[in-house]
Amino acid sequence: MAAPSTTVPSAGPVAGSRSFFSRLRDGDEIARLVTFLFAAWVVFLTLVIVFELWQSSVLPRHKFGFAFLRTSVWDPVFDQFGALPFIYGTLVTSAVALVIAVPFGIGAAIFLAELAPARVSDTLEFFIDLLAAVPSVIYGVLGIFIIVPAMRDFIEPWLKETLGFLPLFKGPAYGIGFLTAGMVLAIMVVPYIISVSREVLLSVPRDQREAALALGSTRWESTWKVVVPFARTGIMGSIFLALARALGETMAVTMVIGNTPLISASLFSPGDSIASVVASQFKEATGDLYTQSLVELGLVLFLLTFVLNGLARLLILLTSRRGAGTAHA
Amino acid sequence: MTMNGQLRWRKLVSNFMLTMTGVCALVSVSVLFFILGYLVYNGGASINWNFFTKLPAPVGETGGGMANAIVGSAKLLLLATLVGVPNGFFGAIYLAEFSGSKIAFVVRYAADLLNGTPSIIIGIFAYAILVHPFNHFSTYAGGFALGVMMIPITLRSTEEFLLGVPRALREGAMALGASKWKTIATVIVPAAYRGILTAILLAFARVAGETAPLLFTALGNRYWSHGFNEPTASLPVMIYTYAISAYDDWHRQAWAAGLVLLALVLIINIIARSILARGISVPRS
């Protein structure tokens, strides 16, 4: 989509024939330089963030090395810092979020893209966009006052009764913990999955649907066996995007996860995630090793989201290209 | 007979699954109205004049308000806009009008990376360069952190709207002898201004509700914050602190603050989207 812009054709013959000084007098070179500085600043800023994270986590990297990622003792009093419980918490809460959010999000996206009339679809999409704009601290407030009590009093006891034989659903129901955090995250990432998947589904060429229907498939079969597979890389992209959001989400998780560095097979157990431990302990952290260990956690999180975002973008790009390609063919 | 049965079964499955997708969409959208309703119900009951005009009451006493947090948020957002908007805007002009494809790729990549960076990491970054060296928390640091978050959002969407300006407009201006920057300033930017305004408003709304980058930059303050060099209270951080506290009165105030914040964010969003919808000034080529 960037291709036509990068060489603005009108600039070619006109600007090219003029000397550097005449362009300088017109102000073109100055404008180019000034705007270039702003654009370069963005790149610089990104590099500085990585550099600062790296630079500010020297101590724990030297002291613990890769053991930082493998050990699970987090004891500021004895200067022992291991990231494993937080990495575990981040991954588990995000996984729970995806398990709930993906079927839901894709279902809703199918409805918006395939079934709803354009007007209804656009209206609902407007609300979905608003939902995506709700600040995370608000989700946290709802989490504390609605979801936590509901989980403690209804959902967790019910899960224990029906699925209690699984290690996932054992132990006392506190209300706070991995499951609740995953639940809040699920609510938060559903709008992202819906928005992106809807776009991707809408870009599937019309003849794909018509061909499937003409062959005698039902509406659902044409959607599920033809349209969705056609768009699956893009849908995967939307899921990765949601995953990246879930991994980095801070406030809502901090407010409901329980802030205890535990690794437990039970989803009812309180825990902690990378983002939430940084949010809750960074301010109070005393001593360089403690602070820098938290920064190193930040670095780990940055790398995780970096990889996921890259993958997500690649997948979405691949699908929309494919859709566009076949549409023209 | 069996064919008929099978067909009926397939149709049944089809109808059932399609209904389920509708249910998914309905439930997803109704979450928004649930959130709104909950905050209006709970927050509306505890919102009053004091909320907007009084300082927080001393710990343990009931009453008081969040006047300092409202002003604090305004100051933080002012700084954020000053940091984020010019940078995003001019950067986008470079990308859309001047740059070659290689540099554009690098800048876009960096912006997308920045956009995907969790906000808590931006907070660590602002702490490392603006709090740690000076040994005190400040409004500057908080505003800077929010501003950094605004840059990629403003940049990427502004660029897209600039690229949407039809080529004929550019060529027309240049054929009349306008220099390139004059073409940009008098033709291209005005043609895309609705889109650019929308981009800026959306970026603003996004950071208005950000809490994580403020926790250890602007910190919080139970009193007025003077100038930009002191720690300051802000609405999102107040909501967080009050919601996780043990006092019922603070919970009530957290709901009220949540309602104010949500209203602000949603209204800006709606305005932004209606600016764009009312007439896309740029026909998509």
pLDDT digits (tens, 9 = 90+) for B190-204: 999 999 999 999 999
- Nearest Cβ partner for B87 among A42, A108, A144: A42
Stronger pLDDT, B60 or B47, i.e. the higher one: B47
- Averaged pLDDT score across all residues of chain B: 91
pTM score: 0.90
How does pLDDT run across B218-255, given as a tens digit for each residue? 988 888 999 899 999 999 999 999 999 988 889 999 99
B160 inside domain: yes
pLDDT of residue A13: 44
Cα distance between residue B87 and residue B125, in whole Å: 18
- Which residues of chain A does B206 touch, with a Cβ-Cβ cutoff of 8 Å? 133
pLDDT at B282 over 70: no
B91 inside domain: yes
Domain A67-328 has CATH 3.40.50.300: no
The minimum CA-CA distance between B38 and chain A, rounded to whole Å, is: 8
B100 inside domain: yes
B30 inside domain: no
A311 touches chain B (CB under 8 A): no
- Report whether A141 contacts B239 (CB < 8 A): yes
- Which residues of chain A does B164 touch, with a Cβ-Cβ cutoff of 8 Å? none
The minimum CA-CA distance between A282 and chain B, rounded to whole Å, is: 7
- Which residues of chain B does A3 touch, with a Cβ-Cβ cutoff of 8 Å? 101
How does pLDDT run across B49-99, given as a tens digit for each residue? 989 999 998 887 888 889 999 999 999 999 999 999 999 999 999 999 898
Question: Which has the closest alpha carbon to A182: A273, A49, A120, A310?
Answer: A273
pLDDT of residue A314: 84
**Environment class of residue B41 by beta-carbon count within 10 Å: exposed (0-12), middle (13-18) or buried (19+)?**
exposed
ipTM score for this prediction: 0.91
Kind plus residue range of the DSSP H or E element containing A74: strand A74-75
* Sequence-separated (6 or more) residues with CB below 8 Å from residue A40: B107
Cα distance between residue A57 and residue A53, in whole Å: 6
B171 inside domain: yes
Cα distance between residue B131 and residue A98, in whole Å: 36
- Which residues of chain A does B255 touch, with a Cβ-Cβ cutoff of 8 Å? 141
B180 inside domain: yes
Locate the chain B residue with the closest alpha carbon to A14.
Answer: B174
CATH of the domain at B76: 1.10.3720.10
pLDDT of residue A110: 95
Locate the chain B residue with the closest alpha carbon to A51.
Answer: B125
Taking residues B130-136, report their average pLDDT: 92
**Residue B245 belongs to what domain range?**
65-277
pLDDT of residue A320: 67
B48 inside domain: no
Domain range summary for chain A, segments of one domain joined by +: 3-55, 67-328
pLDDT of residue B108: 92
Domain count, chain B: 1
pLDDT of residue A27: 79
B4 inside domain: no
pLDDT at B270 over 90: yes
* Residues of chain A scoring pLDDT < 50: 1-16, 325-329
- Averaged pLDDT score across all residues of chain A: 88
Question: B2 falls in which pLDDT band (50, 70, 90)?
Answer: low
pLDDT of residue B279: 53
3-state secondary structure of B278: coil
Task: Report the alpha-carbon angle B239-B242-B247, nearest 5.
Answer: 155
